[in-house]
A and B are shown apart, each in its own frame.
Chain A
């Protein structure tokens, strides 16, 4: 109110100075000048408030992005350790059969352990040995098996082979565990750090691109956990969502925009759509739990149920966007079609719908992007289970990318923090792609009538 008051003061001052309204105001009087200065200062302050508000919001975005990228980029690389592996025939294929079934059953883990023992022969204590074996991940033996199955001539040879390291060793190599902290405060003791230094000075520690992160399902071992299972689960869920919400949403939008008479049914539908758009997503999860799981007995944790739940959630988005797109088609198009003898349904399917399609598709993609990022309703219908296998269909138990992020964020291992951030980067990448495509569609097909 102060500046309104000062505005009034200006007027009052002007009146006093001029004496009456017929003589011009002396705008150069010190009082007025002071007042104007004050008002301009207020103006500048106000503008700065606005600018700083935007700066705060953008800063938040930057900090968010920075914290995720800086935590997550390292997960795309994984530490590997080079060890001299002796492919002992007595261990792999004692009878020399060359039969893949025999080789597949062999204990490759013991080869890795032997290699570690040979590298550090002075480690004899049982507990120290167990620490020593933790340098290499439990997944390394599968790699060795693949290698031997691919190339059976390796049996009997001794080769230097890069093996995937365990998560603590990986964290040490990436600098997340510092050797300078007190021994009791870190996950690795001095002896283990000594082994690391010995291996590093040999040049036997290296970071390689971590393809497993993109090809594996979930795992309890951070170095073996990947996002492929969750990505496939997300894919199936989105397909179900799209197959349901797109046709239903578009048909409903056409009806409401083109055919619906003004009656009570139409009003109720419109009110309902607007309310559904504002219902918290977790409530849709409760609906899914009660209706799909308890009443209809659909399988728990399945992408079908996730898709059914998310379809109800995205429906309002698609209906509202489609209605806007259909409304934007000028009436002259409809009149021309009707004038040439097309029926109302033909008018819509042959003329209105194709012209509205870019707008409808843009809205649908945005709705799908929302569905892809949604977590809470899926927690309700059991998609939080720990699932190692990559789902093979929409009825298999599965999880989705955001839920995988939630699960990893809850895991205590330090190495899961970078996995979580990396999974977030992948999820955001998909969202950027989808939204970018929507923007492209809008730019390319936008039409001014």
Chain B
């Protein structure tokens, strides 16, 4: 029985229990709703909630644990020579799940594995059947119990509202939960990584070549996990992006806010916002297939040797992507500068540009700095443009015409394809992710602090 069907069945039961609960309340009221504590619909909702919520919670818990429990049962039955070796074990588990899904005819594996595959299929059938039975009976029990509790004096509305409030608190808690999830999943695998590789070597090493052997029979060099070349590459591309985005974004914001007629603004502002709405994969394609060849060909004309995956192409396009981000944030802070400051400046005979440069910009400076910091954090975390347009080789260079690689590029390359959660190669992606998360988080917190601390209060 599929999940969709199960959910539909529970939904139908809920609808039914709403109807029953409401009917019972109406019957109890004897036609006068004022005899009841709450509205009939509240009684209906009360029964529906007791029918649906426990069943759904059960489903959630069940799905969280079913996979790992069944896997543990299968593994405990496998012979020790398979379970002893983690590589063989994961291979065996893979074949077992293939056999269980009915796609394993062509596999040549041990009889134990075939047997385990059939056992897995059996267990899965049993588990699914058990889930259906347990879930539907939970829903029925919930329905019956709550139905019996309905009485004239019962405070159905208060009950329903209390549950609603809990649901709201739980939903707000998801935000905390996902931060905790991010921190723990990154930290867990990163610590795993640091137990293999010294953190000092990772943070300060000058050589990055993570191509270690994933299988024992592969030929590969001894990996080196010094992340400095990645940090340099990331900073180089970020710097190029900022060289484009900060002046263009800031000047667009100034022109839009101070000079442009409302007609021009009504056209230009949404047009700039389009730049922010274009998916990053589109920018990546643009950088790789239009900008990079253009730079390479023109570089050749000028006698420059421009790599076809140059940092310049990725950085320029990333800068274009960030323009609207800088311009809308600085537009916000500049429009917050009170009119009296402008009027004062004009009254002293300053021209518009003098007012902007000597009055508005200094007053808005903390906000602008905050905006730039947020833009830097954006650029550091940006992935698709660099994956498609920047290189893979970890060159230690600050020459924008050469290929460099970045933290995000390496995370993607390390995790797309073969993954092996025992090898330093795969785990290093999580260590890089942790660094990325901490740096962007730090930049954001710092940006907010700058804005709060140095903001001039005018009212």
Contacts and interface: CB of A to CB of B under 8 A. Distances in A.
Interface string A256-291: 100110000010110011111011111110110111
A345 B161 contact: yes
Nearest to A260: B172
Contacts of B352: 43, 46-47
A414 to B, nearest CB: 11
Contacts of B125: none
B182 A283 contact: yes
Interface string A292-320: 00111110000000000000100110010
Nearest to A431: B277
B353 interface: yes
Interface in A144-168: none
B20 interface: no
B421 interface: yes
A373 B385 CA distance: 13
B108 to A, nearest CB: 24
A338 interface: no
A276 B179 CA distance: 7
A3 B281 contact: no
Interface stretch (B199-207, B300-308, B436-444): B436-444
Contact of A424 (B285, B383, B412, B429): B285
A50 B437 contact: no
A46 B168 contact: no
Which of A278, A343, A395, A420 counts the most B-chain CB atoms under 10 A from its CB?
A278
Given A297-B68, A343-B157, A282 B381 contact: yes
A185 B9 CA distance: 63
A283 B190 CA distance: 13
Interface stretch (A55-63, A106-114, A189-197): A55-63
A376 B412 contact: yes
B164 A345 contact: yes
Interface in B73-128: none
A315 B175 CA distance: 8
Contacts of B254: 50
Contacts of A357: none
A279 B429 contact: no
A409 B284 contact: yes
Interface string B218-260: 0000000000000000000000000000011111101110110
A53 B172 contact: no
A40 B353 CA distance: 9
B351 A39 contact: yes
Interface in B350-375: 350-354, 356-358, 374
B347 interface: no
Given A43-B351, A51-B255, A287-B178, A405 B67 contact: no
A251 interface: yes
A388 to B, nearest CB: 16
Contact of A47 (B252, B255, B288): B255
B381 A255 contact: no
B332 interface: no
B290 interface: yes
A278 B165 contact: no
Nearest to A254: B168
A131 interface: no
Interface in B279-293: 279-286, 288-290
Contact of B415 (A57, A284, A289, A417): A289
Contact of A290 (B63, B165, B174, B185): B185
B422 interface: no
Nearest to B288: A409
Given A67-B286, A290-B185, A405-B285, A56 B441 contact: no
A376 B384 contact: yes
B168 A252 contact: yes
A428 interface: yes
A372 B281 CA distance: 11
A402 B280 CA distance: 9
A53 B384 contact: no
B281 A402 contact: yes
Contacts of A295: 68
B354 A39 contact: yes
Interface in B423-451: 429-430, 433, 436-437, 440-441, 444-445, 448
Interface of A: 3-4, 7, 10, 39-40, 42-43, 45-47, 49-54, 56-58, 60-61, 63-64, 67-68, 71, 247-249, 251-252, 254-256, 259-260, 266, 268-269, 272-276, 278-284, 286-287, 289-291, 294-298, 312, 315-316, 319, 343-345, 369, 372-376, 379-380, 384, 393, 395, 402-403, 405-406, 409-410, 417, 420-421, 424, 427-428, 431, 435
Given A68-B285, A316-B175, 16 more contacts: A3-B357, A53-B249, A54-B252, A54-B256, A58-B272, A255-B168, A272-B178, A275-B179, A278-B444, A279-B182, A280-B437, A282-B381, A290-B185, A343-B157, A373-B282, A375-B281
